[in-house]
Amino acid sequence: MNTRPEPKRDRWGRYLLPVPGQLKPVAHTRVTTLVKALDDTSNLEKWACRMTALGLAERADLRALVASHRDDKAALNRVVDQAKEAARSGAGANTGTALHRFAELVDAGMDVDLGEWADDIAAYRRTLDDAGVRILPEMMERIIRVPGLQVAGTFDRLVEVGGRRYIADIKTGSIEWAHLAIAAQLACYAHGEVWDGGDGYESLGEVDQTRGLIIHLPAGKAECSLHWADLSAGWEAAQLCATVRGWRARGRDGSLVSAFVSPPATAEVPADQTIERRAEWLRDRIASLPAGGAEMLVAAWPEGVAQGRDARRTHADIDAIAAAIDRVEAQTAAAFTPGDPTLVPVPEPTPVPEPHAAPRAGRIDDVTYAGLAQRFAQHPARQVVEVWAAEAQAAGASLSIAQQRTVDQAARFSAALAAAVHGDEAARDLLGVVMGEALQQSVSTGVALAALTAAEADALRDMARALSEGRLTYQLSADGRPMAAIA
């Protein structure tokens, strides 16, 4: 039986797992959350409505609460939860959890009083034995990470059938409407690596990535059946789920709709000289994608555009491919890459620090974005900025100008570039000056940077530049607050 430690979780309940090359554990979306992106929830929603109606019919006190709290959303949400409980809508889930646990204990060789569930477990064991399914006891209820999608979950079993290994999952409810989600879930597990409880991972071995085993054990029926899941289709669906979630995130970040402004003028190189330069730019960006990014790009490839290094390209083709790469970079927290080489970057203006300025309106134009991206691509401490960006993303924040092309975000990104040359420790000292108190150890540098106002970011950038030029004096005040002065 699995007695390994549980990983820490963030405030959204996501696993915090180690990632090679990262200083701190990174939050991973749960596999079950990922695969819900393609679920047809209409039947589930209707069932939930029926349970609510039945619960209200049973409880006059709940009906009274509805009548007296018509404008209180929080109170009405609590009434709905109580109504479902009154209709025992959670009983099936609780029973399934218990049956899962009984199966785990029995598979671990423990002597357990199964009570009324003895017939279910007997059917489970008999079905596996008759089919020649052998459970690998060291691979039960293990946490697994899928690097290419940055998701994680707990798989039920790794089994051997006919000398071949398969991922297996026990389902105690109806599976009739869940074939797609189950196939995607098992496919993720089959492409993952198993957390060892510390800072590393171990392999699943030669596990089959084309088929997975569904063990259907409906609670209270004393019957069990086995089914194969198509993991090739499931893996394709899982990658599509990641694309859908990426678009949902873009829909929430405010980057798709903005106030109307006149388009900025851009200096373009004549078109007949740009096709090959832009194609080479795309190849460099694809080569810079992190592990799993290339597979995600294949899934997101624009329809009607030929693949292959030697394919003939038009500017429209290149625009479509660049948009697909943008989406993959946003989903994978990829390093920022140089902008379109046909846009001539201009030097970044140096704004005057405004210690108490309000948030600045508007978005940066393509030329400014290209200039920032080029500075990052040539930056001597690029890896430091990448670590900070990952820290911010793990906490649900962002340092990315690809995801947020706002003036405020550009100020934060410029400050990060200026501070990175001095290393993480010095950057934290400078952040303490900006915020008026030393940065707590529990707060990562990336999170602190992402929380800066534009004025604070400008002040940090100016201090970092002054430090580079030997014009900054840093000290602690009598009450322990960090202070700095620029000569």
Residue 201 confidence class, pLDDT cut points 50, 70, 90: very high
- Among 42-46, 201-205, 297-301, top mean pLDDT goes to 201-205
283-309 mean pLDDT: 84
Closest to 37 in 3D by CA, of 26, 29, 47, 25: 29
Closest to 301 in 3D by CA, of 276, 328, 279: 328
In sequence order, the β-bridge partners of residue 476 are 482
DSSP SS3 for 237: helix
Residue 336 confidence class, pLDDT cut points 50, 70, 90: low
353-386 pLDDT tens trace: 443 344 455 788 878 888 888 888 888 888 888 8
Residue 305 confidence class, pLDDT cut points 50, 70, 90: confident
411-421 mean pLDDT: 92
Reduced to 3 DSSP states, what percent helix, strand and coil does the chain have, rounded to the nearest 5?
45, 15, 35
Check whether 252 has a pLDDT greater than 60.
yes
Residue 135 confidence class, pLDDT cut points 50, 70, 90: very high
Give me the pLDDT at residue 43, please: 65
Q: Does residue 433 or residue 48 have the better pLDDT? A: 433
Residue 194 confidence class, pLDDT cut points 50, 70, 90: very high
For the chain, the average pLDDT equals: 83
Alpha-carbon span 458 to 392, nearest angstrom: 19
**Tokens at 282, concatenated:** 């795309």
Give me the pLDDT at residue 89, please: 46
422-481 pLDDT tens trace: 888 888 888 888 887 777 878 889 899 998 998 889 989 998 898 888 887 766 555 555
Out of 80-94, 205-219, 395-409, least confident range = 80-94
**Tokens at 315, concatenated:** 């500017």
Closest to 474 in 3D by CA, of 428, 414, 420, 417: 428
26-33 mean pLDDT: 91
List C-alpha distances in Å: 142 to 58, 136, 197, 485.
Answer: 41, 11, 10, 53
309-333 mean pLDDT: 79
Name the CA dihedral angle for 233, 236, 242, 247, rounded to a multiple of 10 degrees: -110
Residue 170 confidence class, pLDDT cut points 50, 70, 90: very high
Give me the pLDDT at residue 266, please: 54
Check whether 231 has a pLDDT greater than 90.
yes
Residue 93 confidence class, pLDDT cut points 50, 70, 90: low
Question: Model pTM?
Answer: 0.51
Give me the pLDDT at residue 47, please: 67
**Tokens at 138, concatenated:** 């060291």
Whose tokens are 């959303």? That residue is: 73
Give me the pLDDT at residue 442, please: 80
Check whether 179 has a pLDDT greater than 50.
yes
Give me the pLDDT at residue 335, please: 61
| CB-count burial class (<10 Å; 0-12, 13-18, 19+) for 314 | exposed
Out of 139-148, 216-225, 239-248, 304-313, least confident range = 304-313
Whose tokens are 């990014």? That residue is: 293
Percent of the chain exceeding pLDDT 90 equals 32
Give me the pLDDT at residue 418, please: 92
Residue 186 confidence class, pLDDT cut points 50, 70, 90: very high
Give me the pLDDT at residue 352, please: 38
Give me the pLDDT at residue 189, please: 97
**Tokens at 484, concatenated:** 């700095």
Alpha-carbon span 222 to 217, nearest angstrom: 8
Residue 285 confidence class, pLDDT cut points 50, 70, 90: confident
**Tokens at 183, concatenated:** 């196939």
Check whether 272 has a pLDDT greater than 70.
no
